Structure 1
C-alpha cells in the first residue's frame, strides 16, 4: 500500500483552453458595445465625431445627461410608465381569467378557443396596423395613451395565455377537489388557489408584457402624434435632425431609458425563468 497523504481528487485539472478562448471572445463582444455606449455619453458631440466611438473621453462630463433631463425626457418617461403598467395589468387580468377557464372547462369549445388565441402568435402587428388605426380613429381614441395601451395589451395576450395555461395545468387536481368539497366556488378557487400557485407564471406574463410595452414603437408611431403623448421610443428622435444628430445625447437618453426596465428585470428574473420553464404544461 502507498503511504503518505492522498492528494484530493480534482485539485489539478486540465485547462479547458477552447472554452476559455470562447468565453473571452464572448466577453469582448458584450463589453465593447457597453464601453462604447457609456463612453459616448461622457463626451461632447464634436469630440465624438473627431475621435470615434471607441476613444476615451478627453474631458468626461455629464452635459449629455443634463441635456436629456432638461428636455422632455420625464414627460416621455411618465407616458411610458403609464403605458407599461396598464398593459401589464390588462395582460395579467385577462390572461389569468382566460387561462383558468381553458384549464378548468376542458370542453371542445374551450380547446378551440385556446387554439384561436394561439393563432395570434402568427399574426404580426405590421399586418393589421391599418385596421387598428381605423378602429382607433372611429372610436375617437387617436392621439391618446389608451390608443397605445389597448392594441399592445391585445398582442401580448396569446403568449400570456400560453404561459399561464401551462402553469395552471401543473396544479394538482386533488387541490381543486378538496376546495370543491369545502363548498368553494370557481371564483374562490381562482383567487385562493390558482393565483397563489401561479405566481411564477403571472410574474412572467407581467415582465413579458411590460417589456413589450416599454420597447413598443409601431403603435406609438402610428396612433399618436402630439408631444404630450410621446413615449421614450419616439422621444429619442428629438436628438435626430435633418442635418445633424446629437449622438452623445441620444445615447444618454438610451441609457436613462434602460435603467428602469433593467432594474425591474433584476428583481423579477427568477420568476421569469421559473415561469418560462412551466410553459409546456402536462
Structure 2
C-alpha cells in the first residue's frame, strides 16, 4: 500500500512538472507570435512620424484612424473581393478533386493503386515556385495572362498532392462496415461516396480548407507574375501598390497588413474546433 502511494506521488509530481513546462513553452510561443501582431496593430493607428517619437509598443497618443480611411478609400475592397473570388473558386475545386481522388485510393483495391499513391506523395516534394516560368508561358499561350482566373489553375494543382495525401489517410479511418451495410441496402459507389464518406470527411475537408485557404490568400509570387493590371490584382499585391504610393508612411502599410490578415484570423477562430478535429481524426484508426 505504501509503495503504491509513493508511486502515485511520483507520477503526480511528474505530471505537474510536465504541465508546468508545457504551460511555460505555450506562454513563450504566445509571446513570440503575438508580438509582431501587436506591433502591427498598434502602429497602424499612428501618424506618419509618431513611430519615431513614441515607443512602438506604447498605446498611440492620439489614436489616428485616418490610415484606415485612406486604405479603404483607395481601392482596398477591390483587392479584397478579387482575393475572395480566387480563394473561393480554388478551394471548391481543390476539395472536390481531392475528395474524388482520395476515395478510390482509400476505399478501393485496383491495379497500380500503390504506384499512383506513391506518385502523388512524390509530387509533394516539388517546390511550387520552380514551375513559375513554365506556368507563365502556358498561361500566356492560353491567352489567360493578366486574368484573375489564371491563378486558379496553379493554386488548385499545387494544393492537390498534399490534400489528396491527407484526405486519403483520413478516409482510411472511416469504418468499412458503414459502406458494407449501405451496399446491402442497395447503395452503389456514388451513393456511398456522397451519402456516407463525404459527410464523415467534413473535419478533414475543413482542415484542408483552412490550410489551403490561408496559403492561397497570402500567395504573392504567382499573383505578381500572372497579373499586371491594377484592376485585376489580388490582396497580397495591394501592399506593393500602397508601398509605392506611401513609401515613407509605414503606419498606412501596417494598416493594409492588418486588414489583410483579419479575415484569416476570423476564419481560424470560427473553424478552430473543426481544424483540431480534422488533424486529430487522421491520427486515430477507427
- For the superposition of Structure 1 and Structure 2, which TM-score range results when normalised by the shorter chain? 0.7 to 0.9
Alpha-carbon shift at residue 242 of structure 1 (Å) = 8.8
Match of 1:240 in 2: 243
Inter-partner Cα distance in structure 2 for 1:268 and 1:71:
31
Q: Structure 1 stretch 26-35 or stretch 81-90: which is displaced more?
A: 26-35
Name the CA shift for 1:237/1:268 in 2 (closer, same or farther; >3 Å).
same
Structure 1: gaps spanning 5 or more residues: 1-8
Inter-partner Cα distance in structure 1 for 2:117 and 2:262:
36
Inter-partner Cα distance in structure 1 for 2:134 and 2:182:
45
Matched, 1:261 2:284: no
- Give the 3-state SS of the residue equivalent to 1:241 in structure 2: helix
- Give the 3-state SS of the residue equivalent to 2:57 in structure 1: coil
Matching of residues 63-212 of structure 1 within 5 Å: 63-212=66-215
Alpha-carbon shift at residue 280 of structure 1 (Å) = 4.9
- Give the 3-state SS of the residue equivalent to 1:122 in structure 2: coil
* TM-score for both structures, normalised by structure 1: 0.88
Inter-partner Cα distance in structure 2 for 1:39 and 1:159:
37
Kept in 1: contact 2:171–2:201 (CA 8 A): yes
Matched, 1:33 2:36: yes
Inter-partner Cα distance in structure 1 for 2:249 and 2:128:
31
Name the CA shift for 1:22/1:252 in 2 (closer, same or farther; >3 Å).
same
Kept in 2: contact 1:64–1:248 (CA 8 A): yes
Name the CA shift for 1:18/1:194 in 2 (closer, same or farther; >3 Å).
closer
Q: Structure 1 stretch 16-25 or stretch 142-151: which is displaced more?
A: 16-25
* TM-score for both structures, normalised by structure 2: 0.86
- Give the 3-state SS of the residue equivalent to 2:192 in structure 1: helix
Alpha-carbon shift at residue 261 of structure 1 (Å) = 1.5
Inter-partner Cα distance in structure 1 for 2:209 and 2:30:
30
Inter-partner Cα distance in structure 2 for 1:243 and 1:86:
32
Kept in 2: contact 1:169–1:281 (CA 8 A): no
Inter-partner Cα distance in structure 1 for 2:32 and 2:180:
53
Inter-partner Cα distance in structure 1 for 2:80 and 2:277:
29
Match of 2:277 in 1: 274
Name the CA shift for 1:253/1:159 in 2 (closer, same or farther; >3 Å).
same
- Give the 3-state SS of the residue equivalent to 2:32 in structure 1: helix
Name the CA shift for 1:261/1:173 in 2 (closer, same or farther; >3 Å).
same
Match of 2:5 in 1: none
Inter-partner Cα distance in structure 2 for 1:29 and 1:78:
31
